Structure 1
Amino acid sequence: MDTMDTRDCRRAENCAPANGRQVFGLSHWMLVVFAITCASSVANIYYAQPLLDTIATTFDIDAARVGLLVTLTQIGYAAGLLFIVPLGDFVNRRKLIVAQALLSAVALAGVGSAPGAPFLFAGMVLVGLLAVVVQVLVALTATLARPEERGRAVGLVTSGVVIGILAARFVAGVLADAGGWRAVYFSSAGLMLLMGLLLAYILPRDIPVASAERYGAVLKSIPALFFREPLLRLRAGLAFLIFASFSTLWTAMVLPLSAAPFHLSHTQIGLFGLAGLAGALAASRAGRLADRGLAERTTGFSLVLLVVSWVAIGFLPHALAVFTIGVVLLDFAVQAVHVTNQSLIFATRPEAHSRLVAGYMVFYSAGSALGAIASTASYARYGWTGVCLTGAAFSLAGLLLWACSYAKTRRRVS
């Protein structure tokens, strides 16, 4: 369906496709653009992770504190989740999405030209703040998709998020080896400018507004959702723990891989992101399992796999191949739980998708921030063994949280 034909439609799923292919109540073209935008935006949060060593050298930041760069970005992201994403329930989402994309380009250019560490840290907070355009797009996908296929649609768009998270390491490595770490952020600024202009062109001008509430009332309703929805509390807790585990690996792994005996370049380290991408993309189909009522089984299996992955990851530096298998398993497990989480929470309150994703993703961001600072601190004090124990502890806590909840539910049903 030509996306421009949707401008006269009140809801995308009510439009019959003029030509081309329609998927899940949204045109295939629009879903692809959403996924690409999500990949481009979320990558901005993760470009720094494989560059921590060279950024630390540029600004004379010690190894124990360089993880703060990732943590501050996640703090900005959490602030955006709380104060920007809820806007999607009651303002024109087309203007909101386009504005975030264009302002992201400005913030990224500021990071690339930062003259000192304070400017760098401030710029990264802004990058994180504006990267929440990803969640506005995910919430919009959930709103426009037909209910019976919402999980599949969210899974497809979320696959763009995972591509961005993992491919960011490779892209950052290639660009940094070619032109230095600043080139990474200047290039990303150009890409976000391009995506902002593309979204301004293709997004319908009359996307329906979900709520007539005022901004203050919308913000106050987010904590209320947590009090009223046990499922949201559980899935947010799982998000906190799985992304703490995820960030523990991806923040710290550049440190041993860039040192003896490997001395890998940024491009070579980025290749591990491509390896993990295979596992994460395979897990993007978890939304279909949720649509079929298999969410709990998918969650339990994935959390067990997450714990096991740290055993393989612990083989670094002795067996790089085994370590790579662990990376693939970890990314598969995290993405499977994440997609399942979102598929379930979006079904609870159709009128509050933006608020649901905002509340849920605050826990994702907090977990990522904790994992980042905990991993570099653990590495500085205890080496790679300390990193693995930290990541495994987060993973095991997630498994125990799910197991206790599942057992409680089974007892209540019986």
Structure 2
Amino acid sequence: MFGYYLHLALRSFKRNKALTALMVLAIALGIGACMTTLTVFHVLSGDPIPGRSGNLYYVQLDPQSMRGYQPGEEPSAQLTRFDAEELLREHRGDQQALMTSGSVSVTPERAGLVPFLSDSRYASADFFPMFDVPFLYGNGWSAKEDAAHARVTVISKSLNQRLFNGANSVGKTLRLDQSDFTIVGVLDDWKPTPAFYDMNQDTFGDREDVFLPFSTSRDLQMTRGGSLDCWNDPHDDPTGLNAPCVWIQYWVQLDTPAKAQAYRDYLTNYSEQQRKAGRYERPTNIRLRKVMEWLTFNKVVPSDVVLQLWLGFGFLLVCLVNTVGLLLAKFLRRSGEIGVRRALGASRMDIFKQCLVEAGMIGLAGGIVGLGLSLLGLWAVRMQPASYAKLAHLDLGMLLTTFVLAVAASLLAGLLPAWSAMQVTPAIQLKSQ
């Protein structure tokens, strides 16, 4: 019967080409607007490290003074250097990494290249395995090299291409801030979106090109970036070991819920110890959030993207209302035909199914046209100056969603018209013929 319903739908389309075109256009416009905004939202709100995000936690402590204290408020978003190095030394997680952003001067040995500044990340050794960072050549440094303040570095694939024409540069020397570093690894393509590990930077922009041990960066007093918040006078060095300033991000990997609970208890005990020692003044206030919880807390998806998403669905709803009216007009105009079918033995449910198949066909055609409009809309998004704009691409999942949403929307729009059509009384229609 489904094939027969398709045949009837195609005949109906040919008889009412203008009305059919209007309905297809209405569905297509709604799907185009909705899928453009939904795709952008999907890209920006996705899991940046699937498979591992459930075991990675961001650590927050509250080392600030009582000045301006309000009970129940959120603790500092970053750690002091003392706390970060102490947690790293006590090593209570499966893996853990402290880090901060910075900027270094790169002096190329390659002829024709002049020195330039490059974004950098100062981190501890577990950064690479914990975040599942892929390597093209070599690997990251070890905890022993962290402790030895070794002058080693890992560079990005793009920087390796720029400096060494993409060749294996492991073991070569790279001059950073007037100091020589040995390259131990070259990253493969790696761009988690958003950059969850540091919410103090452009989370949708370019990633760092140079990675080196945090301990080495402090020895050489390399330029740091990102946010720094001090509650007392740090004197001449806000990044010193005992400076009353928070500026370091700290992540820990905990592979089971039991380990996560044990680590929360550990942070609570650590805070109590620091308060007894006189370093902390405020009551114990710790947070331990998973990756997706941390992104949600920081409202990583721009508010204008959320607004556009609601507007897209609103426009689709308007288009569906118009489609309902057009389908009602189309089906009721065929009351005589429906009455004849009923008189020849078709049940009300047969009429209902026939009308829904026709509505689904309109939705499918609208989805095809809407896909083209979505691609055009995403192209327009990529032309915008926002840092996330270049990420607006339709993946396979969203491609399938386009057609599923189009057909589902048209079927929903067809329910009322199909129900009205199935109420047609055959006797009255036959008498009027």
TM-score of the superposed pair, with normalisation by structure 1: 0.25
Q: Which has the higher contact order (CA 8 A, sep 6+)?
A: 2
Higher helix share: 1
Larger radius of gyration: 2
Greater strand percent: which structure? Answer: 2
